[in-house]
Amino acid sequence: MKDLFRNIKTIIFAAILLLPGIIWYGAGFLSPGTIEKWDFDLKENRAMAEMPSSVLEEDYTQKLENYYNDHIPFRSVLISWEHKLTGSSESLYNDHIQGVLSAAIYGKGRDTSMDISALLASEPEAEEAFAEISEEEFIEKNGHRYRENVVKESTCRKEGEARYDCVDCEDSYTEPIPVVPHEKKLSYVQESSYISYGYTEYECDRCGRRFREDFEGKVVDNSFLPETIVGNGVLLGRHDWLFYTGDDSLAYYEGTNILGEEELKEYLVSMQKLQDLCDGRGIRLQFMILPNKEQIYPEYMPSCEIADSYKRIDRLVDYIHENSDMDIIYPMQELKEAELYWQTYYQYDTHWNHAGAFIGVQSLYAALDVETTDLRDVETERAPAGVRELIAMAGLDDAGYEPDDDYIISYKPDVSVMEEEGDMYTTWTYHAVSNSPNKQNFVLLGDSFRCFMTDFLVRDFSDSTIAHRDYADEVSDQIRKADILVIEAVERYDVQIVPAVEKVMEILLKEEETQRSENIAE
């Protein structure tokens, strides 16, 4: 009898282990579409574990366990259920319980007004944008009397051109016509709030450019909000803002991962070697680190304890500038100033939106001495964002979140992409040839933040290659031919700069070795 019960329990245990797999593979054979529906992307921002190729591999058992954990039947469905259950309970707690408990334990906290004096230092008053034009009809000069003939009318954005013909002889000359004044008309007054700066906005009746004056800082909520992480590493912020905690992002924000002297020196030595190599080959090298979202929107972060306000990337950038002639861009100030006009990062995603990418590109151009463009001078239309990945990663109900902001930016529509390889948003490498008058070969190696930059870059360079850092080998020919080479990393991936530098050096030095071998052979 004991043997019978033991056999029954063994059969039940085996069924529990095998039945999900049998159903999974059976459904895959009978209905492949059903499996695709069940095996959906969980947006985990990592590569799934692969089956170890040999039992002799180091940590074989751990690798095998990781593989099965990542490929068990119904994994996506089960994890999604867990996220939704957790998200629902967290939403209930946050909406109805947490505020009451926090106020009782820590006090309600007083709202304050954000100090934006540093952001206004470079913000022109609307009147400063107005230019005066001369009302003179005739000009006496060098014994001639000139009459003005308008060749091209000026606007409030662009100069015109006038030709001056002498009424007594055939002498003439040309001069630019200054821009005409904007016709400033009051548009509306925005009161400051938790989600908006206060300002008075004017609009030009001629060109539609917006001017804002009398800025006031956002209202800042100082009530205690604990750090709550849900789902796949999503931090719940204030006023429904969500932040990604992967890749040690909180440490960057709280200032707990400061680089030591030796680590800083390692960055500098590696970057300087590549700089010297590029200088010798006539390649303009530019490094670019992009701020994490929480550095731009600290007002929506929970009550984190800032261990050191002089943070990791600030120190790295300052160290590079103080100990070398290299330039490294960290457009924190530019993105914060842009916040007076546009939202620059997604509320429900960790990336910047198209406005943020535009501002980042212009900061790059300023460093490269390429002509820059003010986003206020470009036709820009606010549009609902289609990127909301942190909601899914947190297991939250998408219906409970308002539409996020993005922008459709009409940038240099007269420039056309003539040829392209790859998709600028979905492929690891992308190459484009355009009819831009700038004939320099441009190459950017970066991470996912590169994607929204691409649409602007291809209109400012006739030959553009934009690729993920890990795929540098696939664009090695373009790297060797580059006039401008940019290595970009978002803040939380700064550790990837040195490996990227080493890979580019390997590519450039390999060509030199090949050329030497060919010369010897000849």
Domain count for the chain, please give it. 3
- 1: helix, strand or coil: coil
Residue 153 and residue 298 in one domain: no
User: How far apart are the C-alpha atoms of 372 and 361, rounded to whole Å?
Assistant: 9
DSSP 498: H
Residue 135 and residue 123 in one domain: no
Residue 292 and residue 319 in one domain: yes
Using alpha carbons, select from 415, 424, 418, 430 the residue that is nearest to residue 460: 415
Q: What is the mean pLDDT of residues 319-328?
A: 95
Residue 503 and residue 472 in one domain: yes
User: How far apart are the C-alpha atoms of 28 and 294, rounded to whole Å?
Assistant: 42
Chain centroid offset of residue 504 CA: 23
Chain centroid offset of residue 486 CA: 15
Residue 213 confidence (pLDDT): 87
Q: Are 292 and 490 in contact (CB under 8 A)?
A: yes
Q: Examine the pLDDT at 131 and tell me if it is beyond 50.
A: no
pLDDT bin (cut points 50, 70, 90) of residue 456 is very high
Torsion from C-alpha of 245, 329, 348, 87, nearest 10 degrees:
0
- What is the pLDDT of the chain when averaged over all its residues? 84
Whether residue 399 is contained in a domain is answered as: no
Q: Which two tokens stand for residue 52?
A: 């170890």
Residue 241 and residue 327 in one domain: yes
Q: What is the mean pLDDT of residues 411-421?
A: 94
Residue 427 CB neighbour total at 10 angstroms: 15
Whether residue 389 is contained in a domain is answered as: no
- Mind listing the pLDDT tens digit for each residue in 101-129? 656 666 666 777 777 777 776 655 544 44
Lowest mean pLDDT among 98-102, 132-136, 143-147, 215-219: 132-136
Residue 308 and residue 437 in one domain: yes
Whether residue 189 is contained in a domain is answered as: yes
Q: Are 377 and 209 in contact (CB under 8 A)?
A: yes
Lowest mean pLDDT among 98-112, 328-342, 418-432: 98-112
Residue 207 confidence (pLDDT): 79
Residue 123 and residue 135 in one domain: no
User: How far apart are the C-alpha atoms of 354 and 454, rounded to whole Å?
Assistant: 10
Beta pairing class for 138-141 and 172-177: unpaired
Lowest mean pLDDT among 97-111, 254-268, 289-303, 425-439: 97-111
Q: Examine the pLDDT at 132 and tell me if it is beyond 50.
A: no
Strands (E), 17-159: 112-113, 138-141, 144-152
Q: How far apart are the first and last CA of the chain?
A: 88
Q: What is the mean pLDDT of residues 367-379?
A: 92
Q: Are 369 and 397 in contact (CB under 8 A)?
A: no
Q: Which two tokens stand for residue 510?
A: 């390999």
Whether residue 390 is contained in a domain is answered as: no
What distances in angstroms separate CA 111 from CA 142, 309, 314, one per listed residue?
Answer: 67, 22, 28
Residue 155 and residue 301 in one domain: no
Lowest mean pLDDT among 44-53, 182-191, 259-268, 349-358: 44-53
Chain centroid offset of residue 81 CA: 31
Q: What is the mean pLDDT of residues 176-194?
A: 86
Residue 295 and residue 423 in one domain: yes
User: How far apart are the C-alpha atoms of 55 and 73, rounded to whole Å?
Assistant: 24
Lowest mean pLDDT among 407-421, 441-455, 505-519: 505-519
What distances in angstroms separate CA 400 from CA 42, 87, 396, 423, one per listed residue?
Answer: 20, 11, 8, 32
Whether residue 167 is contained in a domain is answered as: yes
Is the four-CA dihedral 257, 258, 261, 263 of positive or negative sign? positive
Lowest mean pLDDT among 30-34, 151-155, 468-472: 30-34
Q: Examine the pLDDT at 64 and tell me if it is beyond 80.
A: no
Residue 139 and residue 276 in one domain: no
- Which residues are CB-contacts of 41 (< 8 A; sequence separation ≥ 6)? 76
- Mind listing the pLDDT tens digit for each residue in 205-251? 877 778 888 899 999 998 889 999 988 899 999 999 999 999 999 99
Residue 157 confidence (pLDDT): 73
pLDDT bin (cut points 50, 70, 90) of residue 133 is very low
Residue 59 confidence (pLDDT): 72
Whether residue 493 is contained in a domain is answered as: yes
Whether residue 13 is contained in a domain is answered as: no
In terms of pLDDT, which residue wins out, 501 or 65?
501
Residue 128 confidence (pLDDT): 41
DSSP 94: I
* Domain containing residue 310: 230-331+414-521
Residue 483 and residue 508 in one domain: yes
Residue 211 and residue 282 in one domain: no
Whether residue 373 is contained in a domain is answered as: no
Percent of the chain surpassing pLDDT 70 = 75
Lowest mean pLDDT among 159-173, 282-296, 303-317: 159-173
pLDDT bin (cut points 50, 70, 90) of residue 463 is very high
User: How far apart are the C-alpha atoms of 197 and 190, rounded to whole Å?
Assistant: 7
Chain centroid offset of residue 439 CA: 26
Q: Are 188 and 168 in contact (CB under 8 A)?
A: no
Beta pairing class for 234-236 and 229-230: antiparallel
- Which residues are CB-contacts of 128 (< 8 A; sequence separation ≥ 6)? none
How many Cα atoms are found within 13 Å in the side-chain-facing hemisphere of 104? Answer: 5
